[in-house]
Chain A
Amino acid sequence: MKKSTDKKRELAIMAGLRTPFCKANGAMRAASAADLAAHVFREVLDRTPIRVGDIDEVVLGCAGQDAREANVARVAALRAGLPESVPAFTVMRNCASGMEAVLAARQKLRAGEGEVFLVGGTESMSNFPLLMGPRLTRFFTRLGKARSPWQRLRALASFRFASLKPRLAVVEGLTDPTTGLMMGSTAELVAQRFGITRADMDALALQSHQRAAEAQREQRFAAEIAPLVLMPDYRSVVLDDDGVRREQTLEALARLKPVFDRHEGDVTVGNSCQVSDGAVALLCMSVARAEQLGLEPLAIVRGAATAGLSPRTMGLGPVHATPAALQQAGLRLDQLDVVELNEAFAAQVLGCFAAFADADWCRDELGRAEPVGRLDPSRVNVNGGAIALGHPIAATGARLLLTLAHELRRRRARYGLATLCIGGGQGQAIVLEAA
């Protein structure tokens, strides 16, 4: 459908693999973000007929980089056996970091800065550190600078136990600093705006688990998972995502206490995404290059957009980003065969459903005369979402694309959308066309 001149500007997803997504501080806790990414990078390289030297650049999303693995993209690339001459950089756009990596590759392609990219996202939320504050840093700096015994004594005397109070990176990372709201609290605001009830949220959470369980039963993830032998002693293997609860019931979900607003809230750990570890790698190249190499792509990026909105209702990000991505692709919402809309919170997913179809909201927030359209829930997250599979922050965006590409193939469908909300008040969306 596109002109052949565009083939050099169109980015194709050729292949992809991911680690299983595992609950944080669980099976994969000993693996760092680089360990996970190096594994999937190597597997993608070993399994695709491309020479490592043909890769022009490596782009990896990571929201919580470990100090020991600064520019984790480069660390993972070298460890996966990519030549030292292939450059690598890390991108960070919170929850969209993995998707951002694909967009970075697309931008580089369009700028003429390379044709073949190894991209992805990695996150080891198990390894999010305890942080010691600046007071402790100052104490040690002072102690280190002290020369005379007297100075040293004075430095020691300046110690305060309060400076030992640790900060949890995982909690602070999930709190919006400009509004002071935790991510779950923003979901509560979305639920209030659209009158979403606890029962609606729990029903969506249950459906997520059921769909994921069915997908696992039918081995639908087998093509996208590269099992991982577990560090540090390598005695066991993790083959599949471990957050899916096959026996989940509505009753059990209903018993859970709200977390973010303990008295009047509806958002619980049961209807929120899980905190997980995982990594995804995607091999991308221009459509022209794929044709030249005689390789068949999984899917082609037809449209992409990123949008900003109020951090207080960041969960509605997909509704802000999707219209622009659709416009680029020349499509309407109802032409999408499959949609992956990240389940940060059930409340926020339901909020997006409502907002897409809400004429008032679309007018006030998007300035549109017409609502964006109705999103058919039966086409959204057909294999479950982050509530069941987990949300290793930077890995998720890439996983949505990977799962979407495979699902389009499986259904022999044509168009799909992957979109997610981003902490801090943004949304990102990519429209794929099956190749």
Chain B
Amino acid sequence: MELIHTGKAGTLESSDVLISVKTHPENKIEIKLKSIVEKRFGRHIEKLVRDILDEMQVSSALVDVDDRSALDCVIRARLETALYRGAGVQTYHWEEL
């Protein structure tokens, strides 16, 4: 999946996460994580984000994650939404999600 513009999803409400993705100028993956549970879940969230990018075959992305204590399934939903939006893709591959 290729990002053609900035994709944003989520909110800063409690239990949600605001994620924005855009293509990385150096063609790599970079994750900027801000989380109110960073000390206890920071590494876990970063790995989750990396895994999802991998599953979605995204190889160039600058990912901004502003986490308000979201559960994994919420982070996944918001990141996938942001990626689909950023890639301008409207046909979802539900089998692979």
A binds B: no
Binding site for B on A (CB under 8 A): none
Residues of chain B at the chain A interface (Cβ within 8 Å): none
